[in-house]
Structure 1
Amino acid sequence: MSNSDHAKNMFISLKVAVLTVSDTRDETTDTSGKALVERVDNAGHQVVDKAIVKDDIYQLRAIVSQWIADEGINVIISTGGTGFTDRDNTPEALLPLFDKNIEGFGEIFRAISFDEIGTSTIQSRALGGIANHTVILCVPGSTNACKTAWDKLIAEQLNAQHKPCNFVPHLNLSTQSCTTRDKNE
């Protein structure tokens, strides 16, 4: 097996920040954030930061901008603020920060979610983008939505072994040491 063939079979542990967007949750009641942290850890990635922020456009932009600029963060996953209420501001806050939109992320999330919650999924404004070689994925605030998004969409796209494509080649991994493991481990 050549070095390039071997690299294609390696898992790369990514550095992930988890953001809960909520006016009411705290660390004791943040079941959505906890579900994401657990799944990130179980997948072999590293949670390098976690925060809860009020659903305020400028507070959201401030923390996500800081994480986008941090070379030690590859992925940002936010939960909450993607609905239709007056306090749901995640898309408005984060879309201007994206260098590129990941159009299919919201589309696929809603298609998957349709099987679980039917037409109610149309009220989800889940979205994704890339900024400064950091993937940003925004999912609804329900714990079940977070589990669905991770289990059926995000996990594969953060796995360098997933073919034919995944998000890993679009990340800046050169400034950090990445933990790798053989795909057969």
Structure 2
Amino acid sequence: MGRIDETMDFVPVRIAVMTVSDSRTVADDKSGNTLVDRLKGAGHQLAARMILKDERDEIAEQLRLWCADPEIDVILTTGGTGLTGRDVTVEAHRDVYEKEIEAFGTVFTMVSLNKIGTSAVQSRATGGVSNGTYLFALPGSPGACKDGWDEILAAQLDYRHRPCNFVEIFPRLDEHKRRK
């Protein structure tokens, strides 16, 4: 199991939060609020926040815009990861990924299995990298957002987490663009 090396300095990460929903507003966006509260509570910075409808092209376009923004390191989306016809967040993410982090979905499923049993098979949580930015799609329930943050992302977005973490490899995510 990992651990936090308290001898190291914490490095705050700039995180954008997108809620994908045809019905949510800022006033009732419990899942988005859960992520914002947790990332700020951990010492990270909220770089941007928005709510978008379940429209694949619009979601992918916003993900691309945020990936191109040097003030955003990580994008968290909530909602649209299920199996219904309107659930298109995973497809939008995959339209943007340069590399998928397959193990993120696997670990999320393992965490969910312990919390909600076999209902975990209905989630399609995913993670990836594009343009030097991490992207993670979480289900639209506050509980799933708590699980994704508390059990996976809090540690992986903490530079002090050992034996390794996502933050320490930020400088290498786009090294292929610098090699000539």
Normalising by structure 2, we get a TM-score of 0.90
Give the SS at the match of 1:52: strand
- CA distance in structure 2 between the partners assigned to 1:18 and 1:172 by the alignment: 22
Matched with 1:134 is 133
Q: Does the C-alpha gap of structure 1 residues 113 and 147 become closer, same or farther in structure 2, counting only changes over 3 Å?
A: same
Deviation at 1:99, TM superposition (A): 1.1
1:166 partner SS: coil
Counterpart residue number, 1:182: none
Aligned to 1:58: 57
What's the C-alpha RMSD, in Å, of the aligned pairs? Answer: 1.4
1:46-125 pair list within 5 angstroms:
46-125=45-124
Counterpart AA for 2:101 = I
**AA at the equivalent of 1:125:** R
TM-superposed deviation, 1:172: 4.6
Instruction: Please give the alpha-carbon distance, in whole angstroms, between the structure 2 residues aligned to 1:28 and 1:73.
Output: 24
Distance in 1 between residues matched to 2:77 and 2:102, nearest whole Å = 17
**What number of residue pairs does the alignment pair up?**
167
Whether 1:147 and 2:152 are equivalent positions in the alignment is no
Equivalent residue for 1:29?
A: 28
* 3-state DSSP of counterpart to 1:78: strand
Cα displacement string for residues 36-70 of structure 1 (whole angstroms, at most 9, x for unaligned residues): 00000000000010000001001101111100000
Alignment-mate amino acid for residue 138 of structure 1: A
Q: Which amino acid aligns with 1:39?
A: R
Which residue identity lines up with residue 160 of structure 2 in the other structure?
Answer: Q
* Partner in structure 1 of residue 18 of structure 2: 19
CA contact (8 A) 1:75 1:135 kept: yes
2:29, 2:125 → 1: CA distance?
19
**Structure 2 CA distance, aligned partners of 1:64 and 1:101?**
14
* Segments of 4+ moved more than 6 angstroms: none
| Superposition deviation, residue 170 in structure 1 | 2.8
Where does structure 2 lack aligned partners over 5 or more consecutive residues? 173-180
- Structure 1 residue 171 displacement after superposition: 2.0
Q: With structure 1 as the length reference, what TM-score do the two structures score?
A: 0.87
Quick check: 1:83–1:123 contact (8 Å CA) kept in 2?
A: yes
Q: Provide the C-alpha distance between the structure 2 equivalents of 1:21 and 1:109, rounded to a whole number of angstroms.
A: 19
Equivalent residue number for residue 41 of structure 1: 40
Partner residue, 1:180: none
Counterpart residue number, 1:177: none
User: In the alignment, which residue of structure 1 is the partner of 2:175?
Assistant: none
Contact persistence 1:74–1:135 (CA under 8 A): yes
Give the 5 Å matches for 1:162-173.
162-172=161-171
| CA drift at 1:133 | 1.1
Counterpart CA distance in 1 for 2:91 and 2:130 is 15
What 5-or-longer segments of structure 1 have no aligned partner? 1-5, 174-185
